[in-house]
Amino acid sequence: MTDAPAPPVFDAGFRQTLEDLLLWRRDVRHFRTDPLPPGELDDLIRLTCLSPSVGNSQPWRFVTVEDPARRAAVRQSFLTANAEALADYHGERARMYAGLKLAGLDRAPVQMAVFCDTAPAAGYGLGRRTMPQTLQYSVAGAIMALFLVARARGIGIGIVSIIDPAAVKAALDVPEPWDLVAYLCIGYPEEDHKVPELVRTGWQDRLSPDALTLRR
């Protein structure tokens, strides 16, 4: 029997740094156009793949979008969905919505779609028979890990959720069992903020943890 390595000690300094990382992580909308260093995206994906997953199925699938025609199709999907979303708001809320910069599609140097393989061979179905959505949960958890490891390197990520998943899936020509979980813009932010943009612009304040916790 081999000796297990000693676990690391996460001291008070590390815990404070971790809290700072959570506080300063942002869904970035304003990007610089500087490219990422060679190999940086691959390393971010490597670290992201350390995330846990149901049955160790590792259902995340990363699709980097470099082809201009495919990028244009995604952008058109955003423009259409954004116009439809704006029509749902009225008055001051519509004015606020129209003023938000909701996508980094025009400036972020990296665009990447993250899909969930809903029929992965890995994991042999463990843990998902009664809750198959745990596959998507696993991918969502991996995306959060990606946000954190990127932020630790000064790299920002924005999620473009105002798009038609079916249109994006068709534009990227991926296997049928794959479901889109997130379309990401990745690059260096124009500026860093501790307070989320939607709080700064008055769209939505942070809710108290007490308001989100039930005790039974």
Q: Please tell me the distance from the alpha carbon of residue 183 to that of residue 74, in angstroms, as a whole number.
A: 9
Looking at the domain assignment, is residue 206 inside a domain? no
Looking at the domain assignment, is residue 189 inside a domain? yes
Looking at the domain assignment, is residue 168 inside a domain? yes
Looking at the domain assignment, is residue 3 inside a domain? no
Looking at the domain assignment, is residue 6 inside a domain? no
Looking at the domain assignment, is residue 214 inside a domain? no
CATH number at residue 173: 3.40.109.10
Looking at the domain assignment, is residue 204 inside a domain? no
Looking at the domain assignment, is residue 186 inside a domain? yes
Domain count for the chain, please give it: 1
Could you list the pLDDT tens digit for every one of the 216 residues in the chain? 567 889 999 999 999 999 999 999 999 999 999 999 999 999 999 999 999 999 999 999 999 999 999 999 999 999 999 999 999 999 999 999 988 877 789 999 999 999 999 999 999 999 999 999 999 999 999 999 999 999 999 999 999 999 999 999 999 999 999 999 999 999 999 999 999 999 999 999 999 999 999 999
95: containing domain: 27-199
**Does pTM surpass 0.85?**
yes
Q: What is the pLDDT of residue 2?
A: 67
Q: What is the pLDDT of residue 37?
A: 97
